[in-house]
Amino acid sequence: MSERWSEEELEDIKEDIVASLESVIDPELGIDIVNLGLIYEVNLDDDGYCEVKMTLTTMGCPLADVITEQIHQAVSEVDEVEKVEVKLVWYPAWTTDRMSRYARISLGIK
């Protein structure tokens, strides 16, 4: 439980963070990382430290650094965030099942 923000305020801030992540577009697929299902978890502590747990579509993704930098820029624009850390996780493994309906339609996946 946060001492700085109420439960409701914290959820609103997390929603703002996720909304900012929707501006980060996967350069290869042209879809944002939220709709692709690459974001697994967003945490924010009382000091404004934001941890974004995410995965990539493939382990050897050559654009990992580009995406990570874009995440830092986007999340840093949320007023309550003081520091951003992106943690890549590989479990559970990403599959197309994690994609939103929007992403599936855009990429022609049923």
Q: Is 110 exposed, middle or buried (0-12, 13-18, 19+ CB in 10 A)?
A: exposed
**What letter represents residue 35's amino acid?**
N
Could you give the 3-state DSSP secondary structure of residue 89? coil
Query: Which CATH number characterizes residue 84's domain?
Result: 3.30.300.130
**Residue listed under structure tokens 């690459």:** 38
pLDDT confidence band for 1 (50 / 70 / 90): low
Location of structure tokens 């022609």: 108
Domain that includes residue 70, residue range: 7-105
In a domain, 61, yes or no: yes
Does pTM surpass 0.85?
Answer: yes
Dihedral sign of CA atoms 102, 52, 24, 61 in order: negative
Tell me if 44 is assigned to some domain.
yes
Whether residue 18 is contained in a domain is answered as yes
> Within a domain: residue 63?
yes
What are 20-48's pLDDT values in tens digits? 999 999 998 999 999 999 999 999 999 99
Question: 53-76 pLDDT, tens per residue?
Answer: 999 988 888 889 999 999 999 999
Examine residue 81 and state whether it is found in any structural domain, yes or no. yes
Q: Does 110 map to a domain?
A: no
The count of domains in the chain is 1
Residue 61's beta-bridge partner residues?
Answer: none
